[in-house]
Amino acid sequence: MSAEEYETHFPPLIAPEEVFPTARHLLRTCPVTHSEIDGGFWVINRYEDNLRVLQDWRNFAVGSPDGTSSIRVPYDPPGVNRPLFPPIDVNPPLHRQFREIINPYLSPQALAGHRAGFRRIIIDQIETFDRDGHCDLAGQLGKVFPARLTFEELFGIDDSDELTQVRKWIRSLTYDLYREEPAVLGGFQRRLNDWTLDLIAQRRKKTTVENLIDALVHGTVEGRPVTDAELVGTIQILILGGFSTTADATGNLIINMIEHRLEQELRDDHSLIPLFVEEVLRLDPPITARARRCTHDVELGGETLRAGDRLIVNFVAANRDEAEFDHPDEFELHRTRNRHLTFSGGVHRCVGSTMARMSLSIMMEELLRRIGDIQFAPGQREKRVSFSVGVWRAVDYLPITFTPLPR
């Protein structure tokens, strides 16, 4: 599809290699774009307009008007029946009450207490392949260590078979959402729900609150206990957030490090790693867009959006808007002003951003301590998938070669 066609036919699924050229084209020609696909939706491209949408939750809400289902672009395939995911699918004031339960477990102070545990898990995972001279960095590291951090450190679950099973369901329900038969996906979703309900039942029996799952299970919103249905959705969004986004960011970091020949500089000076992580997150956001619903008629970027219209905030385009970023398409390690929207903004701003930044930095430090001369495997490059407007450009496979460094 040509860039021009995206002005009216921005599709729900977009080829990974078309994401950046399309964003550039829309920013130049059509900053608020209306697509006729999937029942119609707006695409918001400029940084300033996206920030306004994210900060104005009264006019740009999440969830269906009756609060029972998500607002999605594209609509989910019928029959999958994904649950409502609080807090990402609910609006204030209920949204704030969920965040009040979750925030203390993901605050910088709380995460400081997990730093050593995160490092231990990351080292353990890297040491499964660091003597081999080659690996699939996505499959052997990116997709595994964030899931382990979430399960072992945040949730208090140590069973690796359970983790492997949940990772399989999550993979299908994200990467394969528009490829697999809806009936098959519906089956995976039901099994994931049953697993989550079992976890909730176990934790209800506990009298002590030791981790995030316990806090949710024993938590209250609106002066009542959190319901099982709400718990299923909240635990699953934490799993989705915790597993796949950091996985894709890991792949993007290694790809950018190789392409920009930064390995030695980063190894010699670990204080550069947080800057590097931030610039890669800006240029290559793992979640490239999110959906909202207009609650009233609103003027935005010269267009009139009507109450009930769906829209997506296009993080890729916002992060490359020259009105906000100097030389927006350039990789600049020492960029000083980097207020990217990769973690969104407003009330739904990612609750896991500190954990993501911390774990990605530790991953880079420990990887650079153990392997050197990191290259793409001869004749091969990463394989990406685009699996929905909301989450795309995942790094599914990243074959690399390297030299093991002395331990």
Q: Near ligand HEM by CB under 6 A, which window of 67-75, 130-138, 196-204, 244-252? A: 244-252
Element (H, E) at 331: none
- Using CB under 6 A, pick the residue from 71, 111, 126, 249 that binds ligand HEM: 249
Q: Near ligand HEM by CB under 6 A, which window of 186-194, 216-224, 241-249, 304-312? A: 241-249
CA 199 to chain centre: 24
> Does 358 contact ligand HEM by CB under 6 A?
no
> Does 88 contact ligand HEM by CB under 6 A?
yes
> Does 237 contact ligand HEM by CB under 6 A?
yes
Closer residue to ligand HEM in complex, CB, 45/245:
245
Least distance from C-beta 188 to ligand HEM, angstroms?
21
- Using CB under 6 A, pick the residue from 13, 350, 374, 377 that binds ligand HEM: 350
Among 271, 280, 288, 285, CA closest to 253: 280
3-state percent breakdown (helix, strand, coil) of the chain, nearest 5: 50, 15, 40
The side-by-side arrangement of strands in the sheet containing 371-376 is 134-136, 399-404, 371-376
Closer residue to ligand HEM in complex, CB, 88/273:
88
| Residue nearest ligand HEM, Cβ-based | 352
Taking CB under 6 A as the criterion, which residues in 269-328 touch ligand HEM?
A: 285-287, 290
Least distance from C-beta 209 to ligand HEM, angstroms?
18
Instruction: Give, to the nearest 10 degrees, the angle between helix 353-370 and helix 246-259.
Output: 50
Q: Which two tokens stand for residue 200?
A: 């909730």
Least distance from C-beta 215 to ligand HEM, angstroms?
13
Least distance from C-beta 184 to ligand HEM, angstroms?
26
- Using CB under 6 A, pick the residue from 257, 351, 385, 400 that binds ligand HEM: 351
Closer residue to ligand HEM in complex, CB, 27/111:
111
Closer residue to ligand HEM in complex, CB, 49/402:
49
The string of DSSP codes covering 113-146 is: TTHHHHHHHHHHHHTTTTTSSEEEHIIIIITTHH
In order of 26, 117, 208, the CA distances from 318 in angstroms are 11, 35, 44
Calculate the CA dihedral of residues 157, 246, 382, 390 and round it to 10 degrees.
Answer: 110
Q: Which two tokens stand for residue 336?
A: 């000083």
Distance, CA of 264 to CA of 63 (rounded, Å): 46
Q: Which two tokens stand for residue 90?
A: 């609910």
> Does 242 contact ligand HEM by CB under 6 A?
yes
Calculate the CA dihedral of residues 76, 80, 84, 86 and round it to 10 degrees.
Answer: -90
> Does 169 contact ligand HEM by CB under 6 A?
no
> Does 138 contact ligand HEM by CB under 6 A?
no
Distance, CA of 371 to CA of 263 (rounded, Å): 10
> Does 52 contact ligand HEM by CB under 6 A?
no
Q: Which two tokens stand for residue 368?
A: 């650079």
> Does 395 contact ligand HEM by CB under 6 A?
no
- Using CB under 6 A, pick the residue from 172, 193, 256, 344 that binds ligand HEM: 344
Distance, CA of 91 to CA of 65 (rounded, Å): 10
> Does 189 contact ligand HEM by CB under 6 A?
no
> Does 87 contact ligand HEM by CB under 6 A?
yes
Q: What is the torsional sign of CA 79, 39, 302, 327?
A: positive
| Residue in the structure block whose two tokens are 């905030």 | 313
Closer residue to ligand HEM in complex, CB, 277/402:
277
Distance, CA of 364 to CA of 172 (rounded, Å): 28
Closer residue to ligand HEM in complex, CB, 88/300:
88
Closer residue to ligand HEM in complex, CB, 311/356:
356
- Using CB under 6 A, pick the residue from 356, 364, 367, 400 that binds ligand HEM: 356
Phi, psi of 373 (to 5 degrees): 50, 50
- Using CB under 6 A, pick the residue from 189, 236, 245, 252 that binds ligand HEM: 245
* Sites of contact with ligand HEM (CB under 6 A): 87-88, 99, 150, 237-238, 241-242, 245-246, 249, 285-287, 290, 342-344, 348, 350-352, 355-356
